[in-house]
Amino acid sequence: MSTPATKVLRVALRGDAILTHPRFNKGTAFPVRERKAFGLTSRLPYRVNTLEEQCRRAYDQLTTRDSAIRKNTFLQSLKDQNWTLYYGLISRHLKELIPIIYTPTQADAIANYSHLFRRSEGMYLTFPHQESMEEDFLEQTRGRDIQLFVCSDAEAILGIGDQGVGGIGISAAKSAIYTLLGGIDPSKAISVTLDLGTDNQQLLKDDLYVGWPSPRVRGKPYDRFIDKFVQLVRKYHPHSLLHFEDFGVQNAKRLLDFYRDKHAVFNDDVQGTGAVSLAALMSAVGVTKSRLSDQRIVIYGAGTAGLGITKQLRDGMLDIDGLSQSEANKRFFLLDRYGLVKQSLGPTKIREALQEFVRPDAEWEGVPTNENGEIGLYDVMKRIKPTVLVGCSTQGGAFTEKVIREMAQGVERPIIFPLSNPSRLAEVDPKDANEWTDGKALMASGSPFPPCKNPRGGKDYIVAECNNALIYPGLGYGAMITRARSLSDSMIIAGARRLASLSPALADPDSPLLPNFSDARYINTEIAVAVAQQALDEDLAEVPWSKEEVRDQIIAGQWQPVYADFIYDKDGLR
């Protein structure tokens, strides 16, 4: 990380007000001059610490917490006190602490949100208060330069489903990742929960639940509420990025498609998961010396993430290999709760969004079915002999030994991506897939797993973590920094191609398919450059830059966790 020039801020807060403001609080790092100017001399102990010393102290405190959820709670408390220290600490221990503040630990924090609640952490827009939504929105945004809104209705959180108002936890975690890995100034980002009720009966029966205790709103009232929020974002912050997160399968893609031509919007479950999977697959086909369009791809789990991955891989075939959409669609075999998505399932079992990937029944004559006429995973594998198997079903262990060994018989280097998280929901443990393929599998997983022993000897195989955080902060930052009118498919593919180009496997086929997460800040900077340059190429950017200026502009604009110098000014920042 480069050392930025020290910023100078004029701040109006004094005394306890500045010590309790996480944006401006420096704790024991306030220098003597600022302690006098801001009335802090008697409020702080004598010794002035550096940020490095504070990070060492905070890390020592963190390591005394004996569980991931207690560490998550400690870091949340630290964030509530001092943004610079929070981001400074995590940036120094990135690979260790991202799983604590993000997946998988954040899922536990969200599930227990009402019982862990101490302090609000974003914007809560609630259905019964929709008449005052604009007033409530402006209370937090008036006069601020907001570049990023991360919002969730919390219907489909991190593999744990409907979590009601606890969705603020995923919005806040995603926003923090944008800052850590993309360089978004945290004062220019807002985390939003859209509280439209919950169908989670445990929450509805919990007298400590802090959200609106009502069944979920559906249909036109739901759409009107969402649209009211989106129009406020468009009206007051037309150049911001609107990030949709963890919406239900009936709404995620539908809302993305409806708004993507009206504003710069992004859905990480649909586009981010697809983009990082595309990068991993491009790396894998580089190892196998083949092309995307040569693959036969089974997608196990055709929900929001599965369909998003399918369409992103399909669009990669169009953009990179020049296939037509209809030809690319034929490379995919999707399975959902009714088994293979095929013609005879009929309209009641096939969502509209899946129609273009429906397989004709004629392909499956003689293939065994169950009593409902449905074809399961093993029989699909046996018939088509896929080169790629992607899991996004949240069905832990679904890729059995029988399934994996069948795949390994038909391809020299099977490409296997068990992407469901947390790790207990992964379709296969990579060490098992490694054993069942005699160490030949090329793998990426949705959660971190330890290296796999090579059954043929040699070095251990490091399983790439197909973590959206390797790409979405860069995608978003590239759009924001250029004030792009939309985040186009081509911009996303440009980011995925840049990520794939950084793959260690391209130099050594037994190395991981994606770069080490410890380098995620650098990686996302590279992705942001590619995205911004593509935005300029497509004439979507509203900045007067040449492509040659992009890198310098991005690096100069990135926020870094260092303390600014403060000057007291009663008319300054609050």
Count CA atoms closer than 13 A to 202's CA, side-chain side: 10
Helical packing angle, 51-63 and 83-92, nearest 10°:
70
Fold for the domain defined by 1-101:
Hemocyanin, N-terminal domain (1.20.1370)
Q: Would you give the DSSP letter of residue 318? A: I
Residues forming beta bridges with residue 124, ordered by sequence position? 193
**Using one digit for the tens of pLDDT, what is the confidence trace for 191-214?**
999 999 999 999 999 999 999 999
Chain centroid offset of residue 222 CA: 24
**Using one digit for the tens of pLDDT, what is the confidence trace for 532-541?**
999 999 999 9
269 annotated as ligand-binding? yes
Domain 271-466 has CATH 3.40.50.720: yes
**Using one digit for the tens of pLDDT, what is the confidence trace for 214-253?**
999 999 999 999 999 999 999 999 999 999 999 998 999 9
In sequence order, what DSSP letters do the residues of 183-205 get, joined into one string?
A: ---GGGEEEEEEE-----HHHHT
Task: Using the predicted structure, report yes or no on whether residue 457 has a pLDDT greater than 80.
Answer: no
421 annotated as ligand-binding? yes
Task: Using the predicted structure, report yes or no on whether residue 27 has a pLDDT greater than 50.
Answer: yes
Residues forming beta bridges with residue 445, ordered by sequence position? 465
Task: Using the predicted structure, report yes or no on whether residue 4 has a pLDDT greater than 70.
Answer: no
Residues 6+ apart with CB under 8 A from 9: 24, 564, 565, 566, 567, 572, 573
Task: Using the predicted structure, report yes or no on whether residue 456 has a pLDDT greater than 80.
Answer: no
**Using one digit for the tens of pLDDT, what is the confidence trace for 492-517?**
999 999 999 999 999 998 899 999 98
pLDDT computed for residue 410 by the predictor: 84
Task: Using the predicted structure, report yes or no on whether residue 424 has a pLDDT greater than 90.
Answer: no
- Percent of the chain predicted with pLDDT > 70: 99
DSSP-derived 3-state class of residue 65: coil
Mean pLDDT of 465-481: 95
Residues 6+ apart with CB under 8 A from 106: 72, 158, 169, 170, 173
Q: Please give the single-letter amino acid code of residue 470.
A: L
Task: Give CA torsion, residues 514, 95, 109, 65, to 10 deg.
Answer: 160
The answer to whether the 1-101 and 104-267 domains have the same CATH topology is no
246 annotated as ligand-binding? yes
Residue ranges covered by each domain of the chain: 1-101, 104-267, 271-466, 470-557
Q: In this structure, how many other beta carbons lie within 10 angstroms of the beta carbon of residue 76? A: 23
The three-state (H, E, C) secondary structure of 439-485, written as one string: CCCEEEECCCCCCECCCCCCCCECCEECCHHHCHHHHHHHHHHCCCC
Mean pLDDT of 344-355: 91
CA distance 407 to 336: 19
The bridge status of strand 332-336 relative to strand 339-340 is antiparallel
Mean pLDDT of 376-384: 96
What pTM, to 2 d.p., does this model score? Answer: 0.91
**Using one digit for the tens of pLDDT, what is the confidence trace for 408-418?**
998 999 999 99
Task: Using the predicted structure, report yes or no on whether residue 352 has a pLDDT greater than 60.
Answer: yes
Least confident of 143-157, 169-183, 455-469: 455-469
Mean pLDDT of 79-97: 96
Helix and strand numbers, DSSP H then E, in the chain: 23, 14
Tokens linked to 110: 């969200």
**Using one digit for the tens of pLDDT, what is the confidence trace for 285-343?**
999 999 999 999 999 999 888 999 999 999 999 999 999 999 999 999 999 999 999 99
Task: Using the predicted structure, report yes or no on whether residue 86 has a pLDDT greater than 70.
Answer: yes
Task: Using the predicted structure, report yes or no on whether residue 3 has a pLDDT greater than 60.
Answer: no
For domain 104-267, the CATH class is alpha beta
User: Residue 1 — pLDDT band, cuts 50, 70, 90?
Assistant: very low
Catalytic residues: 102, 174
245 annotated as ligand-binding? yes
